[in-house]
Chain A
Amino acid sequence: MAISDVQEYTHLTDEEVEQLGRELDAIRKEIEESRGDSDAAYINRMIRIQRYLAVAGRLTLLLGTQSKKTRVPAAIAGATFLGLHKILENMEIGHNVMHGQWDWMNDPEIHSSNWEWDTAQPAEQWKHSHNYIHHQFTNVLGYDNDIGYGILRMAREQKWHPVYLGQPVYNALLASLFQWGVALHDLDLERIRKGEKDPKEMKRQLRQIGRKGRNQVLKDYVIYPALSGRQWKTTLAANATANLMRNLWAYVIIFCGHFPDGALHFTEEELEDETRAEWYLRQMLGSANFNGGPLLHIMSGNLGFQIEHHLFPDLPSNRYAEISVKVRALCEKYDIPYTTGPLYKQYGQALRTIIKLSLPNGMTSSDQPEPPTPSRSRKRKSDSERPSRIQELGVWSRGKSTERQAS
């Protein structure tokens, strides 16, 4: 079910939405004013650990594979170290640095302008496809390209086509080759298919992807194996395993962010006119968390706090855990769904959606929960009672933009 009127769905009054916004603003302000040395120490520690893991992995493969006796355990340990290094670098460091979460430190290296991560997609394209397209138009059908990554049908509102019968296979391929899927993400395959993409821009992006992809391939599959001498095959296999580990992990974490039951899709138009409070509300309803301990959250880039990340994408990720306590309390106070659950359950739901939506709607049923029940104190208003929100609040009223402009 895609939501066309978020306020109606949540049964909140205008004043309640704005009060919710003010309370979220207060949370944001508190973090902004308290961020400092301990936060800087955290990200520096993460980068140190990530680099130690990389060095440990490379040395283990370089030295450990030379002896027949230690070859297999060294290959396993080396691949594991490298996989963990890539996961930590991509999830907790690269993704969050590129959001500008650490720009306030004024560190020449740990800055959204300078960080280039260890994956095939160029940072510049990620900042467009993810920071802008995905975070600004979160879960809005037709806007947010993260809904199915251009190859999967993830919402019942998306028209079914026989090609989607292969969806479970496409999903497995996307998971295994995730870094390459992400690398092509900003190209916007749908616009290319429709002939809407500017060919010059497409060529520029392809050149950028080609350069970055070539460097990644050279690093993982040519240079490091060559440095291993006669054991080049072992190093090459270990590097491929590390990339596969990172691909599968990143895919699972990302699919848990917006596709479990309870994370809603939207159909609004002209979303950039919405107020801050309305934007907050849409982010909360469109995202899903998962539960876990500190290590799980670090290795998932603190995206287990996806709701908090979408509310405050540029606040330091190490603060999301404390923010989540307050956000959850606000959700209870305002009777707004706070979607969370164990990782296996959240991914299981996303996987079930992928499989079910490979079939036409008539053959399956929706798994989305019912909307929140209006509380007794919040009498639902009729259309005639509800004030026009177009001028004051933006665009969450029904009707097309052209109709609004005409009125």
Chain B
Amino acid sequence: MTSTPRNRTGGRSALAAARFRGDPGHALTQASRVHERHWVTQCALARICGGCAMSLGRPIAFLGTPDEVARNAFHLPPMHTACAEELRRTPGADPTWQLVTTAGFEFVRPATEDLDREPRFEPNSLL
């Protein structure tokens, strides 16, 4: 039996344990942290998947509400396409989330005058 893989941060959330299906490539070990600012920043800079904490692939997937998609400004960290799809199916996920794929993104820290005070991602080469 395969054990739940741990990632570079050494963490394993309850959600992850519940969602783990034995595929180490798509175990959402860090899915419960996708709204944490520190984690979002780490994923952005270290180029790791917000869901499983392993190196991002290409394309890069973002989940966003219709408003985020329209603004091209996402708040959930970048993910593998499979992890994003898995997260979208997870109980408690926002039913309006849409999946967008890109080759690259800009990581935008909030400015003082921004109404949106969370770091955001702006895909720069949508696929």
8 Å CB interface, B8-41 against A: 8-10, 37-38, 41
Identify which of A98, A108, A198 contacts B10 (C-beta below 8 A). A198
Instruction: Report whether B109 and A279 are in contact in the complex, using a CB–CB cutoff of 8 Å.
Output: yes
Given A200-B6, A204-B8, CB of A111 within 8 Å of CB of B103: yes
Point out the residues of chain A lying under 8 angstroms from B103, CB to CB: 103-107, 111
User: A121-155 vs B: 1/0 string, CB under 8 Å?
Assistant: 00110011001100110000000000000000000
Size of the chain A interface, CB-CB below 8 angstroms: 39
Instruction: Tell me whether A276 and B55 are in contact (CB under 8 A).
Output: no
Q: Is B88's CB within 8 Å of the partner chain A?
A: no
Contacts of A277 in B (CB 8 A): 111-112
Closest chain B CB from A187 CB (angstroms) = 11
Q: Is the interface of B mostly helix, strand, loop or mixed?
A: loop
At the interface, yes or no: A383 with Cβ under 8 Å from chain B?
no
- Provide the residues of chain A in CB contact with B105, threshold 8 Å: 100, 103
Other-chain residue from B47, B54, B109 in contact with A100 (beta carbon distance below 8 A): B47
Given contacts A104-B104, A104-B125, A106-B127, contact A131 B10 (CB under 8 A): no
B41 adjacent to A136 (CB under 8 Å):
yes
Q: With a CB–CB cut-off of 8 A, which chain A residues contact B56? A: 112-113
Contacts A104-B103, A108-B58, A272-B41; is A113 near B47 (CB within 8 Å)?
A: yes
A18-B111 CB under 8 A given contacts A104-B104, A106-B125, A127-B55: yes
A104 with B124: in contact, given A275-B110, A314-B107, A393-B112 (CB under 8 Å)?
A: yes
Given the known interface contacts A100-B104, A104-B104, the answer about A128 and B8 at a Cβ–Cβ threshold of 8 Å is: yes
User: Bound complex: CA of A314 vs CA of B47, how far in Å?
Assistant: 12
B67 at the interface (CB under 8 A from A): no
A204-B8, A276-B109 are known contacts. Are A111 and B58 too (CB-CB below 8 A)? yes
The answer to whether A136 and B58 have CB atoms under 8 Å apart is no
Chain A residues whose CB sits within 8 angstroms of the CB of B9 once the complex forms? 201
Do B112 and A275 touch (CB < 8 A)? yes
Say yes or no: is A366 at the interface (Cβ < 8 Å to chain B).
no
Q: Evaluate contact between A135 and B124: CB separation under 8 angstroms.
A: no
Give the residues from 76 to 131 in chain A that come closer than 8 angstroms, CB to CB, to chain B. 98, 100, 103-108, 111-114, 123-124, 127-128, 131
**Interface pair A275/B46, CB less than 8 Å apart:** no
Cβ-Cβ contact count across A and B, 8 Å cutoff = 98
Residues in B with CB closer than 8 Å to A198 are: 10
Query: Cβ of B47 and Cβ of A127 under 8 Å apart?
Result: yes
Cβ-based interface call for A220 (8 A): no
Instruction: Say yes or no: B45 contacts A132, CB within 8 Å.
Output: yes
- Closest 8 A-B residue pairs measured CB to CB? A103-B104, A106-B103, A198-B10, A132-B46, A276-B109, A132-B45, A104-B104, A128-B46
Q: Does A16 contact B (CB under 8 A)?
A: no
- What A residues does B8 contact at CB under 8 A? 124, 128, 201, 204-205
Closest residue on chain B to residue A109 by CB atoms: B58
Contact B109 A131 (CB under 8 A): no
Interface: A8 (CB within 8 A): no
Give A390 Cβ to nearest chain B Cβ, in Å.
Answer: 13
Question: If the complex has contacts A21-B111, A100-B104, A104-B104, are A131 and B45 also in contact, measured as CB distance less than 8 A?
Answer: yes
**Can you give 5 contacting A-B residue pairs, CB < 8 Å?**
A104-B104, A111-B58, A124-B55, A205-B8, A277-B112
Interface bits B39-65 vs A (CB < 8 Å: 1, else 0):
001100111100000111110100000
In the complex formed, the residue of A with least CB distance to B9 is A201
| Chain A residues in 8 Å Cβ range of B125 | 103-106
Knowing A104-B103, A106-B125, A111-B103 touch, does A127 contact B48 (C-beta < 8 A)? Answer: yes
Q: A105–B125 Cα gap in the complex (Å)?
A: 8
Q: What string of 1s and 0s marks CB contacts (under 8 Å) between B95-125 and chain A? A: 0000000011111111111000000000011
B10 CB contacts on chain A under 8 angstroms: 198, 200-201
Closest-by-CB residue of A relative to B40 is A272
List A contacts of B104 (CB < 8 A): 100, 103-106, 112
Q: Does A335 contact B (CB under 8 A)?
A: no
* CB of B50 to closest CB in A, whole Å: 13
Known: A103-B124, A132-B45, A201-B6. 17 other contacts (CB 8 A): A18-B112, A100-B47, A100-B105, A103-B125, A104-B103, A112-B47, A113-B56, A113-B57, A127-B48, A128-B8, A135-B45, A136-B41, A136-B45, A198-B10, A275-B111, A279-B109, A314-B106
